[in-house]
Amino acid sequence: MIPLLPRLVIMAKRPELGRVKTRLAGGIGAVAATRFYRQTTQSVFRRLGADPRWQTWASVTPDLAQKDGARRPDVSHVIAQGAGDIGERMQRIMDVLPPGPVVIVGSDIPDIKPAHIAAAFRALGRADAVFGPAEDGGYWLVGLRRRPRVVDIFCEVRWSSAEALADTLRNVSGAGLRHELVARLRDVDTAADFARWQALL
């Protein structure tokens, strides 16, 4: 049997002033927050998109940004996120991509490294789902084996809350799926997060 191709999907927004990292902008200003998002997004795509162990896709918003992403040398495909909350947009990715394991990450986590993605795909060799927990109770990575079927694990999740991971794991368990966790990483969503991240540089 030919092994199914692993696919990494990086979700990204067009870095427009006032439309990205709005919580962070409340603490450090919209210009600085937009600059952080733009630089982090470029760095994440550069680090992860060049790795030959998986095929990298970009899932972008607004949908018109699909034209921007088509020029990226570090992705093989660019798709629009479409409408809905974050759960509906992630489920759409899981539903439409070709067969094989899929891992989804955001583009605004500055500490993501190829080793984290490789660990997630290894986990999907043993489990049906994988998550990268975030410090705030959410998660920065989610992956599904998608065999023998694609399951909706994102319904009735309290997004942007400390319960987001717990709610999703409840859905995973309810569907009879096994899961594993990979490294815990910190989101940079507030001025305090930003200060901690800068101190570690």
pLDDT-based confidence at 77, cuts 50/70/90?
very high
Residue 2, in any domain of the structure = no
Residue 82, in any domain of the structure = yes
- Cα–Cα–Cα angle for 113, 103, 164, nearest 5°? 95
Mean pLDDT of 57-67: 84
> For residue 64, is pLDDT > 80?
no
- Residues facing 12 on adjacent strands: 60
Residue 166, in any domain of the structure = yes
Residue 113, in any domain of the structure = yes
Mean pLDDT of 86-112: 96
Number of domains in the chain: 1
Query: What SS3 string covers the chain?
Result: CCCCCCEEEEEEECCCCCCCCHHHHHHHCHHHHHHHHHHHHHHHHHHHHCCCCCEEEEEEECHHHHHHHCCCCCCCEEEECCCCCHHHHHHHHHHHCCCCCEEEEECCCCCCCHHHHHHHHHHCCCCCEEEEEECCCCEEEEEECCCCCCCCCCCCCCCCCCCHHHHHHHHHHHCCCCEEECCCECCCCCHHHHHHHHHHC
User: At residue 69, what are phi and psi to the nearest 5 degrees?
Assistant: -70, -25
**pLDDT score for 178:** 97
Residue 1, in any domain of the structure = no
**pLDDT score for 62:** 86
Supply the range of the domain harboring residue 80. 7-200
**Residue 162 tokens, joined:** 């400390």
Residue 48, in any domain of the structure = yes
User: At residue 10, what are phi and psi to the nearest 5 degrees?
Assistant: -105, 120
- Name residue, tokens 């060799």: 125
**pLDDT score for 145:** 97
Residue 101, in any domain of the structure = yes
- Which pTM value belongs to this model? 0.94
> For residue 69, is pLDDT > 60?
no
CATH number, domain containing residue 186: 3.90.550.10
Lowest mean pLDDT among 139-148, 169-178, 186-195: 186-195
> For residue 81, is pLDDT > 90?
yes
Residue 158, in any domain of the structure = yes
